[in-house]
Amino acid sequence: MVLKSRYRKSSEVGVNYDFADILADVGYVTFYGMEDEAGTQSLTRLTIESSNVKSTITGTSGNVESNLDYEFLLPAHVKGNLFVTITIEADGSGANAATNDTTIKIYHYDGTTETQLGSTATLPQLENPASTAADQARHSATFAVDKVFKKGDILRVEVISTIASANANSTASHYHDGANRDLSLTDQFEVSCRSDLIVQTPFQLSL
């Protein structure tokens, strides 16, 4: 005997939005920069401990570059003010001062071509005087973005720290510890500061 099967239509998925987000037609997703054991740098929504908490250039000149990527698994429209918050560091080491000049850029990367979104952010120069402990500073930069990302496209945050010093042991760094561990950092206001790199990313709601 064959039994008749009855199938119920699944209920529609409900999505809730913050009222302020509805007014602005934008919702924010927070990403954190991190670097894994293989040296791969990425953006993730998880607060994961980084195997390397900062990127550093050592010497009298030159720079260090970080490219933190997030790959889209679904199409999305990134539109609005994107915010990057970061801690930088300079250490003159010994009898010489050192400086850290850091820039931040936002890119759309399709696997072949990088397209810059918004303007380049140049952070205030951080100087570490001679014969003192390392100095840190915490900054936030704003980028106006408006870009549709296809599946497989990448949102890239590029950070470049450049050093100038007369001491070959001097360093310039930027931090990206996803778990924001307490590394005893102090910002330009003499306040304990975070070790993570935060990217607040706007997505158009199109309600």
What residues have CB less than 8 Å from 193, skipping those under 6 apart?
A: 87, 136, 138, 185, 186, 187
Question: pLDDT for 142-163, tens place per residue?
Answer: 999 999 999 999 999 999 999 9
**Of the candidates 97, 127, 107, which has an alpha carbon nearest to the alpha carbon of residue 66?**
107
Question: pLDDT for 71-89, tens place per residue?
Answer: 999 999 999 999 999 999 9
Radius of gyration of the chain (CA): 21
> How many helices (H) does the chain have, and how many strands (E)?
1, 14
What residues have CB less than 8 Å from 23, skipping those under 6 apart?
A: none
Tell me the pLDDT of the chain (207 aa) as tens digits: 555 656 555 556 556 666 666 766 789 999 999 999 999 999 999 999 999 999 999 999 999 999 999 999 999 999 999 999 999 999 998 889 999 999 999 999 999 999 999 999 999 999 999 999 999 999 999 999 999 999 999 999 999 999 999 999 999 999 999 999 999 999 999 999 999 999 999 999 876
